[in-house]
Amino acid sequence: MKRGSKKGLRSIMPLPLQGKSVSHFCMFPKVNSADYDPATTHVYLNVYDLTPANSYFYWAGLGVFHTGVEVHGVEYAFGAHDYPTSGVFEIEPRRCPGFKFRKSIFMGTTYLNHIQVREFMEHQSSNYHGDRYHLVVKNCNHFCEDICYRLTGNNIPKWVNRLARIGIWPLF
């Protein structure tokens, strides 16, 4: 995610908690969603438009999209940067800077509580370094596919990453 402002983004660092507060590992202050309910364990895929052309191509099952996974009132996503550290970040759901929110898709539920989800994300973030982001083979949609499947057992809709799979995403 090189586009847009980095305001409101918090990096996920793959470090063991060892009894320390989760906020200890955040670069920015804790994000609290206004509609967060600690009793819910729903997992959502939040889809954003990367280009105005999506308005035309979306109905044909095509488009260039950014995605994030929302669970326990926090959205996790993956983006590019120039450093060999995690490119996973967290934001307030449906408010990723630099992108236009399109829709939330219910992916299923998870049995993990918010602390377990945070530990899971910290562990998974070691597989998603910002300097290894690639539009076709390792992008935000690949991250969300992996995380959604591990949390719920469900795959994200095929149309979300279709252009990367057929290798023409960079042409948009």
Q: Which residues are catalytic?
A: 66, 140
Q: How far apart are CA 156 and CA 61, in angstroms?
A: 14
Q: Are 102 and 141 in contact (CB under 8 A)?
A: no
Running DSSP on this structure, what letter comes out for residue 125?
G
Q: How far apart are CA 148 and CA 45, in angstroms?
A: 8
Burial 45-74 (b: 16+ CB within 10 A, else e): bbbbbbeeebeebbeeebbbbbbbbbbbbb
CA angle 41, 62, 3 (to 5 degrees): 70
Q: Within 13 Å and on the Cβ side, how many CA atoms surround 116?
A: 8
